[in-house]
């Protein structure tokens, strides 16, 4: 019985840490699949899985609100939009536009070089030493909404320029907050809405040649 409990305990630890690695592996594999797939709809499918795995990573980082926003806006909104676009622009049933192998190789080499550069510079820094104020202090004991992923109120306060830590300690010099950027983004969204509607509105399609236009008008009159 004791042995079983011990095994279960180990398994729990592994499951807890392992979920993060599963999400990380899934994100990486799906991102690579997006690159190497030629069919656009399959690319969209892999992208869904990749973004969902990234949302899982957000949840593992106690960023519940951002994770849910990622699922709602990216996967539920943007990707549906993309697939809509695929359907409206596809000329064949399962559209494929092959990249030339040379381009692919060149892209791959440049990509690998960039990856090497990024990784070598990012992993060379000892983040723990550079920034000694790590999670233990940021998410202090007893008053700890972020540690459990309950970031909603914290985010709301942040938009107003406060933080619960300021309120708690009374060192409350309220900063400017993110209200102005928020307003700018909302106006930006409105502009985008109008702009997209203007750009995408139905226009007369440019006829490749006169003959097709004639046949079309003939078909209409018939």
Partner 1 sequence: MNPELSTAAPADLNLYLFVAAVLFVSGIVCMATKRNGIGVLMGVELVLNGANLNFIAFGRFTKLGIDGHVLSLFVIVLAAAEAAIALAIALNFYNNHLSIDVDRADSLSG
Partner 2 sequence: MTPVLAASSILELLQQYLSPNAAYLLAAVLHAALVLGFFGVAPLIYIWLERKVAGRIQDRLGPTRVGGKFGWLQTLADGIKLIQKEDLCPEAADRMLFRMSPYLVFVASFAAFLVLPWADGWIAQNLDIGLFFMLAIMSLEVMGVILAGYSSGSKWALFGGMREAAQVVSYEIPMAICALVPVTAAGTLSLMDLGRIQSGPFLNWMIFHDPFCFIAFFVYFVVATASVKRAPFDLAEAESELVAGFHTEYSGIRWSYFFMAEYASMFAVSGVATALFLGGWNTGLGLEETVLAGWREAGGPWYLLANLLGAKVFITKGCLLVFVQMWVRWTLPRLRIDQVMTTCLKYLLPISCALFLGVAIWPLAVFKLTGRSTLVNSLKVMGTDIGRPMSERSFVPGVPQARHAGPVEAQATPVAPAPQGTDRAGAELRVPAAPTLVPAAADKVSSS
- CA 10 to chain centroid: 33
Q: Which of 22, 118, 180, 187 binds partner 1 (CB under 8 A)?
A: 118
Any residues with CB less than 8 A from the CB of 181 and at least 6 apart, and which?
Answer: none
CA–CA separation, 106 and 113 (whole Å): 11
For partner 2, give the closer residue by CB, 169 or 207: 169
Q: How far apart are CA 103 and CA 107, in angstroms?
A: 6
* Residue 45 touching partner 1 (CB under 8 A): no
Q: What share of the chain is helix, strand, coil (3-state, %, to 5)?
A: 75, 0, 25
Residue 22 touches which member of partner 2, partner 1, none, C-beta under 5-8 Å by kind = none
Q: Number of H helices and number of E strands within the chain?
A: 11, 0
> 């995408």: which residue's tokens?
200
Coil, helix or strand at residue 151: coil
Residue nearer to partner 2 on the CB measure, 74 or 178: 74
* Residue 48 interacts with, from partner 2, partner 1, none (CB under 5-8 Å by kind): partner 2
Q: How far apart are CA 107 and CA 101, in angstroms?
A: 10
Residues 155-174 that bind partner 1 (CB under 8 A): 155, 158-159, 163
Q: 87 touches which of partner 2, partner 1, none (CB within 5 to 8 A by kind)? A: partner 2
Residues from 190 through 219 that contact partner 1 (CB under 8 A): 192-193, 195-200, 203, 205-206, 208
| 138-144 long-range contacts, CB within 8 A, separation 24+ | 140/165, 143/168
Binding site for partner 2 (CB under 8 A): 5, 8-9, 11-13, 15-16, 39, 41-42, 45, 48, 52, 64-65, 68-69, 71-72, 75-77, 79-81, 83-84, 87, 93-94, 143-145, 148-153, 157, 162, 164, 166-168, 170-172, 174
* Residue 15 interface partner, choices partner 2, partner 1, none, CB cut-off 5-8 Å depending on type: partner 2
């Amino acid at each position: 019985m004791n042995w079983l409990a011990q095994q279960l305990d180990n398994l729990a630890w592994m499951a807890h840490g392992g979920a993060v690695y599963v999400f990380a592996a899934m994100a990486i594999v799906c991102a690579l699949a997006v690159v190497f797939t030629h069919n656009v709809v399959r690319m969209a499918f892999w992208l869904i899985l990749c973004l969902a795995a990234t949302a899982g990573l957000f949840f593992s980082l106690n960023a519940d609100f951002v994770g849910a926003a990622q699922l709602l806006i990216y996967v539920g909104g943007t990707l549906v939009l993309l697939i809509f676009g695929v359907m409206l622009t596809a000329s064949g049933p399962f559209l494929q536009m092959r990249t030339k192998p040379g381009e692919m190789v060149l892209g791959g080499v440049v990509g690998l070089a960039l990856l090497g550069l990024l990784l070598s510079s990012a992993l060379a820094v000892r983040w723990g030493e550079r920034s000694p104020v790590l999670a233990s202090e940021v998410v202090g004991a007893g008053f700890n909404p972020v540690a459990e992923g309950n970031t909603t109120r914290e985010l709301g306060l942040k938009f107003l320029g406060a933080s619960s830590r300021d309120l708690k300690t009374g060192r409350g010099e309220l900063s400017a907050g993110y209200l102005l950027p928020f307003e700018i983004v909302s106006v930006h969204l409105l502009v985008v809405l109008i702009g997209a509607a203007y750009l995408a509105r139905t226009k007369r399609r440019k006829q490749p040649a006169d003959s097709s236009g004639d046949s079309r008008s003939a078909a209409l009159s018939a």
